[in-house]
Amino acid sequence: MQRLHAYPDIRAMFRRLLIATVTGVLAALAVAVFRHAMYLLEWLLLSNDSGSLVNAASGLAPWRRALTPALGGLAAGLLLWGWQRMNQQRPHAPTDYMEALETENGEFDYAASLVKSLASLLVVASGSAIGREGAMILLAALAASFFARRFTPQCEWKLWIACGAAAGMASAYHAPLAGSLFIAEILFGTLMLASLGPVIIAAVVALLTTRLLSPGASLLYEVHLSAAPDGADYGLMFALGLLAGVGGPVLMWLMDASHSLFLRLKLPVPLQLALGGAIVGGLSLLTPSVWGNGYSVVQAWLLSPPLLSILAGVFLCKMLAVLASSGSGAPGGVFTPTLFIGMASGMLFAQLAGIWLPQAEMATLLGLTGMATLLAATTHAPVMSALMVCEMTGQYALLPGLLLACVLASTLSRALRQNAIYGERAAEPR
């Protein structure tokens, strides 16, 4: 069988694996720096040391809960606007890793990328419904690129940016294999098969380094399922995959529509981001659960699924908050918020299915299925999506059913909308 690409010689392979190890460590450190900076800012601004923005919002007076996201968006907008004004005559290079990987030599605008990450830190720590992981992975890719430009040949720079991104994803989500497959599936045909070795090494080393820096639970989400899925469960998982295949394009369309609506207002960047934050703040008066990327709510609901009325109300408010934050251009990603929307959708589906079928653990099972299938529908990366949910929760018994459901979701989504969420706008994990 003919190989598509020749493997490098053995010395080059060992050199790459060594550099991949260093890249993994650097990526984990970059993620840790952002995470601790976020915790510090939350403590300074919100007197919150729990690590949960929902808890922070619950303890604030209503006026502060409403105002804080708007002020964070305003500060981030002023920072981005000021940087753009100061550098109008400066040649521009990519400020995210996907765009950098599409350039000839993996070009990065380091200064602008750091400013973008700082702006993301401001909106994340002030409660906007945007993902913190996007900035984490960007910083990991930046660290890898900075190291590569000093110690590796130019022809390898794009490989190390990819390794840094995969390692950052592994560190942020505790999912090294999914982080590797994220790069392989999203950039299919761009990376050589031989390049997957360094990508996987970097991702695994990043996760191990993260666990050394922050010892504790090895899984991102704690989930209790007492039995593997049976025939009826598989049928529901496949049905949810089909629903996600329609819901993914709808979600992407809503994000595009929200972004277009904000652009039509023709507001300066600071006011545009402040408006997005103000909408999140107003929604938080109804429920503080709209603050942040949704991680703490996902964990609480996976352990104890809520009643239908609470589930539907928080889902609607969170959806509006995510659309407001992403549509206003708040720097960050919607990768983790997508996991929340998928989980809530799966649990709503479980509530309806429970009318005819026994409900034992059904909400948790379909919540996990919703996370994977909506992710697959928006990224068109079914293997990565299924494996990521298994790695984050440790529920590997779900993998066969999740793979099939994710393939269904991805195929139907691709038929309805050719471009994935990474094929149109900026490409950090959204």
Q: What is the pLDDT of residue 143?
A: 94
* pTM for the structure as a whole: 0.84
Average pLDDT over residues 293-317: 90
- Taking domain 231-416, whether its CATH number is 1.10.3080.10 is answered by yes
Return the closest-CA partner of residue 429 out of 221, 122, 178, 66: 178
Domain 10-213: CATH superfamily, name plus number? Clc chloride channel (1.10.3080.10)
Tell me what percent of the chain is helix, strand and coil, each rounded to the nearest 5.
75, 0, 25
The pair of three-digit structure tokens given for residue 180, joined into one six-digit string: 């590797």
pLDDT(131) > 90: no
CA distance 151 to 149: 6
How is the chain split into domains, by residue range?
A: 10-213, 231-416
Q: What is the pLDDT of residue 340?
A: 93
CA distance 41 to 123: 11
Q: How confident is the model at residue 422 (pLDDT cuts 50, 70, 90)?
A: low
Provide the mean pLDDT of the chain.
86
Q: What is the pLDDT of residue 9?
A: 66
Counting residues of the chain whose pLDDT is more than 70, the rounded percentage is 91
DSSP category for residue 109? -
Backbone CA torsion sign across 397, 399, 400, 405 = positive
Per-residue pLDDT reduced to its tens digit, 19-59? 999 999 999 999 999 999 999 999 988 888 887 888 888 88
CA distance 429 to 406: 18
CA distance 272 to 313: 26
Provide the residue type at 427 as one letter: A
Return the closest-CA partner of residue 277 out of 57, 38, 73, 121: 73
Cα distances (angstroms) measured from residue 215 to each of 27, 83, 127, 359, 420: 17, 38, 26, 35, 36
pLDDT(272) > 90: yes
Q: What is the pLDDT of residue 378?
A: 93
Coil, strand or helix at 268:
coil
Q: Counting beta carbons within 10 angstroms of the beta carbon of residue 166, is it exposed (0 to 12), middle (13 to 18) or buried (19 or more)?
A: buried
Of 66-70, 175-179, 226-230, 264-268, the poorest mean pLDDT is in 226-230
How many contiguous H segments (helices) and E segments (strands) does the chain have? 17, 0
Give 131's strand partners.
Answer: 333
pLDDT(4) > 50: no
Per-residue pLDDT reduced to its tens digit, 399-421? 999 999 999 999 999 999 988 77
The pair of three-digit structure tokens given for residue 361, joined into one six-digit string: 């653990």
Return the closest-CA partner of residue 233 out of 383, 346, 384, 343: 346
pLDDT(355) > 90: no
Q: What is the pLDDT of residue 185?
A: 67
pLDDT(191) > 60: no
Q: How confident is the model at residue 212 (pLDDT cuts 50, 70, 90)?
A: confident
- Is 231-416 in the same CATH topology as 10-213? yes
pLDDT(348) > 70: yes
Per-residue pLDDT reduced to its tens digit, 148-176? 999 998 888 888 898 999 999 899 888 88
